[in-house]
Structure formats: C-alpha cells, structure tokens
Amino acid sequence: MKKLLIITSIFILGFQFAVAQAEHHIEKTAIQKPVKVKVFPNPATNVVNILGLQNSNRAEIQISDAYGNTVLQHHWAIKNNALNIPVTSLDSGIYIVTIRSKEQQIQTKFFKK
C-alpha cells in the first residue's frame, strides 16, 4: 500500500510539472496581436505621418519601392507614439515603410502622389 501511495504521489507531481511546463510554453509562444497603425495622408505629397507606434530612442526606418528596392533609410527616435517621414524626394508610386527597433517591428504601405 505504501508503494502504491508513493507511486501515485510521484505520478501526480510529474503530471502537475508537465502541465506547468505546457502552460509556460503556451505563454512564451503566444501569438502577438498585430499592431494597428494609422498612416496619413494617403496618398502623401510632402510628409507621411504614422501613429500608433511604440516610443523608441533609436528606430531604423526603411522605405522601399514596390519592387523591394530601398529608396530611403534613416535612424530616428520615435516620440509621442508617432513618426513623421519627409517624402518630397520620392517619385509617385507605392512604397513600403519598415520600422525596426527593440520595441517593435512594423511594416505598412503608403502611396506617394
């Protein structure tokens, strides 16, 4: 009887450990909700404003054309959860903005008039 009690206790502790590990794994691999950012004006002429970002001391901002060629690249600080990107030097067309920092990685598009 004592052996059965010991085996049952070990089984229960092992099961509880496995459940705790599984819950920890689920927490670590949970899919993050996509960040909703607002890009305006769209189409843009002089400046593109992006709202809904996380503040960062140093973010890499990359603008690519529709073919994937990088046309602008800067490192800027993001303050007040917003970014203003001058685009007067760009030709008319579709562009993709990629924002990378330790706080976030966002990709969105805009049209240049």
Quote the distance between the C-alpha of residue 8 and its chain's center.
Answer: 46
**Cβ atoms within 10 A of the Cβ of 101, count?**
20
Report yes or no: 102 and 63 within 8 Å, Cβ to Cβ. no
pLDDT at 48: 96
Query: Is pTM, for the whole model, over 0.85?
Result: no
The b/e string for 44-55 (b: 16+ C-beta within 10 A; e otherwise) is beeebebeebee
Q: pLDDT by residue (tens digit) across 35-55?
A: 789 999 999 999 999 999 999
Which pLDDT tens digits describe the chain residue by residue (113 residues)? Answer: 666 556 555 555 554 555 455 555 545 444 556 678 999 999 999 999 999 999 999 999 999 999 999 999 999 999 999 999 999 999 999 999 999 999 999 999 999 99
pLDDT at 49: 97
Report yes or no: 111 and 93 within 8 Å, Cβ to Cβ. yes
Helix (H), strand (E), coil (C) string for 21-82: HHHHHHHHCCCCCCCCCEEECCCECCEEEEECCCCEEEEEEEEEECCCCEEEEEEEEEECCE
Please provide the average confidence, as pLDDT, over all residues in the chain.
83
Report which of 61, 56, 72, 75 is spatially closest to residue 108, judged by C-alpha positions: 61
